[in-house]
Structure 1
Amino acid sequence: MKLEKLYELFLQFPVVCTDTRKITTNCIFFALKGDNFNGNTFAKKAIENGAAYAIIDEKEYQTNDQTILVNDVLETLQKLANHHRKQSSAKIISLTGSNGKTTTKELINSVLSTSYKTIATVGNLNNHIGVPLTLLSIKKDTEIAIVEMGANHQKEIEFLSKIAEPDYGYITNFGKAHLEGFGGVEGVIKGKSELYDFLIGHNKHIFFNADDAIQLSKLNSYINKYGFSQTNEKYYKIILLSANPFVTIQVEDIEITTKLVGTYNFINCCAAIIMGKYFNVTLANVKKGIESYIPSNNRSQIIEKNGHRIILDAYNANPSSMKVALENFANLEAEQKIVFLGDMFELGSSAKKEHQEIADLASSMKFNNTILVGKNFSATNTKEKTFEIFDDLSSYLKNTSLSKSAILIKGSRGMALERILDLL
């Protein structure tokens, strides 16, 4: 079926689904494939469950007019998303970076939605499937779409940019994330900068942190840029007042008190503020948008439990985010401080070195108790407590009484350190 014909069907049935467990009446099911599944085998079930059509790429599963055969389902999904994007009048803001993408995206959406009809990437569905699904969720009345882009190797952001064709872009930072796939820090900078490359090549608009030397140097001669800074008078001034524990910000004559912990979240807020400023959102609404945002999903959450004040930041971790989380925690005022750190994944040959550096940093901060969990951390040369597997940590906590403390919990998603909450 030609793309134009498929798009006509999409306009009649504008809900896309890729999971038969989430089929809604009159959606279009795209039979994607993975390492351990073949969506074609679920096409019949999808239609039985209410899907209007199923898009397949294996002829043997074409049972009736409701099953539409294409050469490649994933490629068709991506092309349909790009076509829909081109038909829409919505402005597209894309963002990527090593740390803080999802929180920044949520803050931007919270600010802009006070004054515009917006849609944004759901959760962290930010890959070659998630980006098309976000674009296909754009409605007729959508004015701004905020599209998060994730990547773990070079050329991925370039590919996603060609699908989304953003009008605006923002890179949160360049950090030590996915070092294995990118081939080191320089590879990370090159890979994430593919968003800049697309925007500059198409003379589009870039928002950026003018206090980030890498970003400033890369955009030095580019005209279509809008920056924020605490010190550089050439750019929009935003001041960090405090972060003990919650980030408080000064913008012009307005003070904003967030529900976010960590100085690193100051920069995430700045991105939302500069975009609000650009899109003529009043400062009152910028304040409303940021102050109403409450972190969730194990991202910089503050939890009070059994006399402990817990910073739960266990959604993800890499050396860069781990370092700033520790530095922020060290600066917080508390009589007792306990740190739980879990292994950082996707570091490749750098894993041993990076885990040792974080272990040394945590040890130098002399917290009351530092506990390291995982194979990599347990292999470090450290005087701190280490547990190779979570079950051993669990046994320790069940038999240990912790005094009322400020607690930081930080680790990669695969470590699932939020389980610690049930043991406190």
Structure 2
Amino acid sequence: MGQYDQLYELYNEHDTDTLRALQNLVDLFPLVESAVALDRWKEINEELEDGKEAVEDAFPDVGERFADLAARARQEQAFTGLDLYKKYGRPVNVFVLDVDETLRSTGSTDNEIPRETLNLLTEFHDAGVPIVICTGQTLENVKGFAIQGLGSQIVHSGNLSIVYETGTGVFTPRHGAGTKQLLYEDLDDEIQAVFDDVRTRILSEASEELRKGCHLQGNEFNITMKPNFETGSDAAEAVIDQALVYELDLLGDAVATHGELGDASGHSVPDLTRAYYADQDPEIHAVLESEGALPDAAATDVPADLGAILERIDIGYYEGDAAEIGTLELSKVVGVEAAFDVLGIEDPFAVVMGDSKSDLRVMRWVQENDAGIAAAPEHASQSVVDHVESTDDLIFEQGRAGDILRMVYALNRFADEG
């Protein structure tokens, strides 16, 4: 009997729903100092083991693996895991995980990473699979919720790395001199001067409306304006759209000051900067259009010397959440490569989970290098959804990142057994 036929038999002829429910109770049972609670946990665990033994008896050759699958993965997750094993022939050996709107969501998880997701990540970590948290947030923010959710022991285990501020720095505890890598320090003087200029002026020269409606995220390098309103609200969307236009103009002015530029073809550098990024990103184009800020200049008017600077600088727009100036030389891809290096991952096969264009760059990088697969929440940026659907179609519901982790569990169990 083939593997697919055996899986059909497992899920159609055995009460796998009960096994998963029991496993979840065992995994998530609250730790309380109560003899009654402990006795109840033992009863649940015994019932789970009895159910697993019944599966093992029904499948003599693959019983242990199938018992684990039945307790961890739904039928579609197990079949997807088998499909991916047949396609790639290897297990996932590292996770690359965005946080906001991926592991947690303001819309469905109250901006907390669900306990189920944290428990599954803990199990993978205990099995020796490294975790790379890859986010646009500051290091201190990420360390805080990582320690709160996963525990200090895992965060400081030497097998977890944090790529922060979209790749400007990498923090990997217990790796000596490689523990904290400030990648932005390697940028050339021209780019550093542009960022220093923008950073010193961005609040002092902002309009009163922007100063009241936004704050500057406490980054080490990137320049990120965040709303002083609930993320995603109408007020937040409005002020971030204004902040985007303001950042583009400030960036253009800083480039004109510190870059070695020739003739600008009769257009101002801020106008050419708007034109350049409007051509690069349809979301930015739409915001500029809605704000009445599309310039008369076109992307074809951008001189080569200006384009050579702007192509190194990234503008991140996140509707109702943030407007950010970063550098493409320090993308999440660069940060992930640095994290893999310090973790000693020489032949990665990663699951990359994310929702934004910065995550898409990592997804494309692993695809181009045969180094992993991609997954995204259904509400991700359309370009991310398009990429994921065109590869392995690993789209999950908002707040349900654990579904992908269960699929990966199935994939790795098939790979373990060969």
Structure with the higher strand share, 1 or 2: 1
Larger radius of gyration: 2
State whether TM-score is above 0.5: no
TM-score after normalising by structure 2: 0.30
